């Protein structure tokens, strides 16, 4: 059962047709009443179609209104014809009033139905555009095949007999032949329009087309009967007229479907493909029936059927050629897509994906038979300035030319890829000196580029990493990251440099092998250690305190410079773990000092960014209490690697911990962001003058003197950092600085190496009195 907006009217129409045909053809009524019911049914259906079209038209706009107006005119003309016909038949007792005035009415139907169908088809969206549609030539061939096949069918059934039967007058002959001819034309047009319209728009057109086909069917039967000299038309043969007009009414009542209907179903596409074959198959069946019945084909049938079959063969050939061309195009575009997926559109070089793939392959070979491989990471220097000064067009040209020079500087077997805006990666396989290749690349890129008479210069920074160096061979990603880290380190040293990867290179981009290993160390604590460096009174070189310094030994790479891993820990947000480890160890160790070191202070570095966080204060208190250290003996050194987010909050934290007893020092004083403001705001006990002032030169002497003066005025002790020589020590002492730290007094080392033997005996924590006098600094 049909579902959708047309289902109800369709049911009503089907019921009406059944009543009319059933009652008219049942034989229950007298012939006249049968005829009356039949004629009334046809007239009623025609009137219903006319009213449905014309009353519905004003409720629509555009093509939806137009086709209803045209179809209303067609149905109206037909209904008038039917009225006249019925009049002749019922009241003039003329069984088949043909030709008559009624024909004038009937024949208006094809005249107005044609523009109606065309308007309706035009109102539909074109057959789903993205789907491949048959080419123009195939469409024309299909049309001709359908026309030819239907012609053969019509000719064999009605047209032939009408044409052969002839008529009394040329006018009568024209009228007689007009029906099958116009029916043929309408049928062909409906079929072709249905095939060409989008499935989404076929609802109304299908119903209307079906109605017109029903009308054409009964028309043909009628024309055939007339040509055979029949004297009446059985009511059943009129069913096509009643059903046809009823369907026209249903089509007019059916609302237009939105254009967003689901895409064509597979069977609808198959129906479209089968279009030319169905009518041809129909002619085949017909010809077989004729043969069986001993009817020979006449000349017209033979000629048209031959033409139809020839057209079918041509259509087949054209379709094959089109398919072959299509396959070619598909494989071309597949190749193009594959190329685009693995290459950079601007330079034509490999892209990151292809580079990664090649690198993984090269690494596999390296693992298998030790084939050497190196990666160069090249980043153009000052490329942004080129874009800013000469525009992006010139920037793009430069990238293309630089890519060409890069390619020319390496072997054909090497892979050059563009992996970022102005970043290129080169994979060197099969030996040779990668350093030399890098130099060649730097020379090539360093030569000025000439664009439209302008000379544009850029440099290139190159990072180099070789598989097999630094222990285990990392993954492709890690290797590329190492080359990137080396390049980045080069950029920071100054541009236009070649830097070979070293394990201690932070990549400055938030991740490195080092970061991963450090994170692992901090999770399990293995590999971290604490060294101590003495802080002395300059006057007599007595040790008054020791500074605890974090040390990290990488499981396979060995000791990593403190600056490097501290910066890495800060980058990855794990500095807290380093600080807490050192704090705990320092408190434990200091609490155990005795003899000459009994009661000396221990300095512990603390990241200033953490100051003010409640968890930090708790950690400090707990560490001190846990090990029974007198709080005064702990000096927290504040190092400012980033501006303090809230100086007031940091100062409050210093106050709170200060009340607990812990003391504070400003580390590397003079290099931070806001040294004097911090000195002013925070109640610190010490200032550690950065070693840049200690080594002297420039105006450092004046600065040192002023700082010492300010600090002394405030009651803040000053420690000179990085004192390496006697001269520096006495110069600092002469400026009023009382304390010093540096290689002159001892480098940092494990506690056992730097402490006097009698300072490290295990002491009972209870012997350390909480109020033990603290050596003044
Ligand atoms: P800092 O706190 O200023 O530590 C002094 C640094 O100067 C130490 O470097 C020390 O070895 C070095 N040094 C000492 N005397 C001399 C000298 O005469 N000449 C020269 N050239 N250098 C000298 P180290 O151990 O590499 O530590 C570097 C920095 O790392 C420290 O500087 C500190 O800012 C940071 N750091 C160390 N341990 C920790 C820690 O546990 N937590 C935090 N947040 N930072 C730490
Ligand atoms: Mg320090
Ligand atoms: Mg320092």
Using the mean position of ligand 3's atoms as its centre, give its distance from the Cα of residue 777 in Å. 17
Query: Which residues sit with Cβ closer than 5 angstroms to ligand 2, an ion?
Result: 605, 637, 667
Residue 633: the pLDDT is 97
570 lines ligand 1 (CB under 6 A): no
Q: Would you place residue 1 in the very low, low, confident or very high pLDDT band (cuts 50, 70, 90)?
A: very low
Average pLDDT over residues 296-310: 82
Highest mean pLDDT among 238-247, 293-302, 324-333, 730-739 belongs to: 730-739
Using the mean position of ligand 2's atoms as its centre, give its distance from the Cα of residue 496 in Å. 34
Q: Is the pLDDT of residue 196 over 90?
A: no
SS3 740: strand
Ligand 1 pocket test target in 545, 562, 619, 729 with most atoms within 8 Å of CB: 562
Contact 282, 130 (CB under 8 A): no
Average pLDDT over residues 83-100: 76
Tokens at residue 431, please? 């030996």
Residue 522: the pLDDT is 82
Element (H, E) at 719: strand 717-720
513 lines ligand 1 (CB under 6 A): no
Highest mean pLDDT among 15-19, 25-29, 622-626 belongs to: 622-626
Q: Is the pLDDT of residue 609 over 90?
A: no
Residue 266: the pLDDT is 56
Whose atoms come closest to the Cα of 567: which ligand?
Answer: 1
| 542 beta partners | 537
Contact 703, 736 (CB under 8 A): no
Using the mean position of ligand 3's atoms as its centre, give its distance from the Cα of residue 726 in Å. 19
Closest ligand 1 atom number to CA of residue 575: 44
Highest mean pLDDT among 471-480, 641-650, 767-776 belongs to: 641-650
Cα of 19 vs its chain's centroid, Å? 62
What's the CA gap between 261 and 263, in Å, rounded? 6
Candidate from 410-424, 503-517, 737-751, 752-766 with smallest mean pLDDT: 503-517
Whose atoms come closest to the Cα of 570: which ligand?
Answer: 1
Q: Is the pLDDT of residue 449 over 50?
A: yes
Q: Would you place residue 616 in the very low, low, confident or very high pLDDT band (cuts 50, 70, 90)?
A: very high
Q: Which positions ≥6 away from 97 have C-beta within 8 Å?
A: 85, 88, 89
Q: Would you place residue 133 in the very low, low, confident or very high pLDDT band (cuts 50, 70, 90)?
A: low
Q: Would you place residue 92 in the very low, low, confident or very high pLDDT band (cuts 50, 70, 90)?
A: confident
Query: For strand 454-456 and strand 449-451, is the pairing parallel, antiparallel, or unpaired?
Result: antiparallel
Q: Which positions ≥6 away from 767 have C-beta within 8 Å?
A: none
Using the mean position of ligand 3's atoms as its centre, give its distance from the Cα of residue 591 in Å. 23
Residue 176: the pLDDT is 78
Residue 506: the pLDDT is 54
Rg for the chain (alpha carbons), in Å?
50
Q: Is the pLDDT of residue 571 over 60?
A: yes
C-alpha to C-alpha distances, 309 to 115, 152, 284, 292, nearest whole angstrom: 31, 12, 10, 21
How many alpha carbons fall within 13 Å on the CB side of residue 312? 20
Using the mean position of ligand 1's atoms as its centre, give its distance from the Cα of residue 566 in Å. 10
Which CATH number, 3.20.190.10, 3.30.70.270, 3.30.160.270, 3.40.50.10800, labels domain 352-502? 3.30.70.270
Whose atoms come closest to the Cα of 581: which ligand?
Answer: 1
What's the CA gap between 722 and 743, in Å, rounded? 7
Using the mean position of ligand 1's atoms as its centre, give its distance from the Cα of residue 524 in Å. 24
Closest ligand 1 atom number to CA of residue 607: 44
Residue 442: the pLDDT is 95
Candidate from 52-66, 273-287, 544-558 with smallest mean pLDDT: 273-287
What's the CA gap between 724 and 745, in Å, rounded? 8
- Residue whose CA is closest, atom 11 of ligand 1? 748
What's the CA gap between 21 and 235, in Å, rounded? 6
What's the CA gap between 677 and 396, in Å, rounded? 48
Residue 768: the pLDDT is 37
- Residue whose CA is closest, atom 8 of ligand 1? 549
Average pLDDT over residues 751-773: 62
Residue 24: the pLDDT is 66
Element (H, E) at 416: strand 415-418
Percent of the chain's residues with pLDDT above 90: 39
578 lines ligand 1 (CB under 6 A): yes
pLDDT digits (tens, 9 = 90+) for 42-79: 899 999 999 999 999 998 888 889 999 999 999 999 99
Contact 222, 107 (CB under 8 A): no
Using the mean position of ligand 3's atoms as its centre, give its distance from the Cα of residue 668 in Å. 4
Domain 531-756 in CATH 3.20.20.450? yes
- Residue whose CA is closest, atom 20 of ligand 1? 722
Average pLDDT over residues 180-202: 75
Ligand 1 pocket test target in 549, 608, 741 with most atoms within 8 Å of CB: 549
Predicted TM-score (pTM) of the model is 0.46
Q: Is the pLDDT of residue 316 over 80?
A: yes
Residue 221: the pLDDT is 82
Residue with tokens 């570095």: 605
Element (H, E) at 282: helix 277-292
Closest ligand 1 atom number to CA of residue 604: 41
Average pLDDT over residues 175-189: 83
Using the mean position of ligand 1's atoms as its centre, give its distance from the Cα of residue 438 in Å. 36
Could you count the other beta carbons within 10 Å of the beta carbon of residue 62? 11
550 lines ligand 1 (CB under 6 A): yes
- Residue whose CA is closest, atom 43 of ligand 1? 605
Could you count the other beta carbons within 10 Å of the beta carbon of residue 685? 19
686 lines ligand 1 (CB under 6 A): no
DSSP designation for 255: P
Average pLDDT over residues 340-366: 93
724 lines ligand 1 (CB under 6 A): yes
Residue 771: the pLDDT is 34
C-alpha to C-alpha distances, 300 to 294, 304, 307, 687, 705, nearest whole angstrom: 17, 6, 11, 117, 123
Tokens at residue 462, please? 């190159």
Candidate from 373-377, 606-610, 742-746 with smallest mean pLDDT: 606-610
Closest CA to 109 of 211, 8, 26: 211
Residue 272: the pLDDT is 65
Q: Is the pLDDT of residue 124 over 70?
A: no
């Amino acid at each position: 059962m049909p579902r959708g907006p047309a289902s109800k009217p369709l049911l009503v129409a089907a019921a009406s047709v059944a009543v009319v045909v059933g009652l008219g053809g049942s034989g229950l009524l007298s012939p006249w009443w049968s005829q009356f019911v039949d004629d009334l049914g046809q007239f009623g259906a025609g009137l219903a179609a006319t009213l449905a079209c014309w009353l519905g038209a004003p409720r629509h706009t555009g093509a939806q209104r137009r086709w209803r107006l045209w179809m209303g005119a067609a149905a109206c003309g037909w209904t008038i014809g039917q009225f006249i016909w019925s009049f002749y038949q019922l009241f003039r007792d003329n069984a088949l009033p043909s030709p008559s005035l009624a024909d004038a009415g009937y024949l208006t139907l094809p005249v107005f139905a044609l523009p109606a169908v065309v308007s309706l088809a035009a109102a539909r969206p074109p057959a789903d555009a993205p789907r491949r549609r048959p080419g123009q030539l195939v469409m024309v061939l299909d049309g001709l095949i359908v026309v030819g096949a239907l012609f053969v069918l019509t000719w064999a059934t009605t047209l032939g007999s009408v044409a052969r039967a002839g008529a009394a007058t040329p006018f009568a002959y024209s009228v007689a032949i007009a029906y099958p001819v116009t029916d043929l034309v309408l049928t062909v047009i409906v079929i072709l329009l249905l095939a060409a319209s989008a499935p989404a728009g076929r609802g109304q057109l299908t119903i209307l087309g079906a109605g017109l086909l029903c009308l054409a069917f009964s028309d043909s039967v009628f024309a055939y009967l007339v040509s055979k000299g029949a004297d009446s038309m059985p009511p059943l043969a009129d069913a096509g007229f009643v059903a046809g007009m009823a369907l026209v009414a249903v089509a007019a009542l059916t609302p237009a479907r939105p254009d967003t209907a689901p895409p064509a179903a597979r069977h609808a596409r198959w129906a479209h493909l089968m279009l030319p074959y169905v009518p041809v198959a129909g002619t085949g069946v017909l010809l077989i029936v004729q043969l069986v019945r001993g009817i020979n084909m006449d000349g017209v049938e033979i000629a048209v059927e031959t033409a139809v079959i020839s057209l079918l063969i041509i259509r087949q050939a054209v379709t094959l050629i089109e398919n072959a061309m299509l396959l070619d195009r598909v494989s071309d575009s597949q190749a193009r897509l594959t190329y685009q997926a693995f290459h950079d559109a601007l330079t034509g070089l490999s892209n990151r994906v292809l580079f990664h793939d090649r690198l993984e392959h090269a690494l596999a070979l390296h693992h298998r038979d030790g084939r050497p491989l190196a990666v160069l990471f090249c980043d153009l220097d000052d490329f942004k300035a080129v874009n800013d000064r000469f525009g992006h067009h010139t920037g793009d040209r430069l990238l293309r030319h630089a890519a060409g020079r890069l390619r020319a500087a390496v072997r054909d077997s090497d892979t050059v890829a563009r992996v970022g805006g102005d970043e290129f990666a080169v994979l060197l396989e099969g030996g040779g000196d990668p350093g030399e290749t890098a130099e060649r690349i730097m020379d090539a890129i360093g030569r000025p580029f000439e664009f439209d008479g302008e000379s544009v210069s850029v440099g290139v920074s190159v990072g180099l990493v070789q598989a097999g160096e630094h222990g285990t061979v990392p993954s492709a990603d890690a290797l590329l990251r190492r080359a990137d880290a080396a390049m980045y380190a080069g950029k920071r040293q100054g541009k236009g440099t070649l830097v070979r990867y070293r394990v201690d290179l932070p990549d400055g981009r938030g991740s490195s092998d080092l970061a991963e290993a450090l994170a692992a160390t901090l999770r399990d604590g293995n590999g971290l250690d604490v060294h101590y460096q003495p802080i002395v009174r300059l006057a007599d070189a007595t040790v008054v305190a020791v500074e605890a310094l974090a040390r990290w030994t990488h499981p396979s790479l060995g000791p990593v410079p403190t600056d490097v891993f501290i910066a890495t820990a800060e980058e990855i947000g794990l500095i807290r773990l380093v600080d807490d480890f050192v704090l705990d160890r320092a408190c434990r160790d200091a609490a155990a000092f005795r003899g000459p070191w009994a009661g000396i202070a221990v300095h512990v570095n603390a990241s200033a960014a953490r100051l003010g966080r409640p968890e930090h204060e708790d950690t400090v208190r707990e560490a001190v209490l846990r090990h029974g250290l007198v709080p005064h003996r702990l000096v927290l050194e504040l190092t400012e690697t980033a501006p303090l987010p809230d100086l007031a909050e940091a100062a409050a934290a210093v106050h709170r911990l200060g009340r607990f007893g812990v003391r504070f020092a400003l580390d590397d004083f003079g290099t931070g962001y806001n040294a004097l403001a911090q000195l002013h705001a925070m109640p610190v006990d010490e200032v550690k003058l950065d070693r840049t002032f200690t080594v002297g030169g420039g105006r450092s002497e004046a600065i040192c003197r002023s700082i010492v003066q300010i600090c002394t005025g405030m009651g803040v002790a000053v420690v000179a950092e990085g004192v390496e020589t006697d001269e520096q020590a006495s110069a600092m002492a002469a400026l009023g600085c009382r304390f010093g730290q540096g290689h002159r007094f001892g480098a940092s080392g494990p506690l056992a190496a730097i402490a006097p033997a009698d300072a490290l005996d295990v002491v009972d924590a209870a012997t350390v009195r909480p109020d033990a006098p603290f050596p003044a600094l």
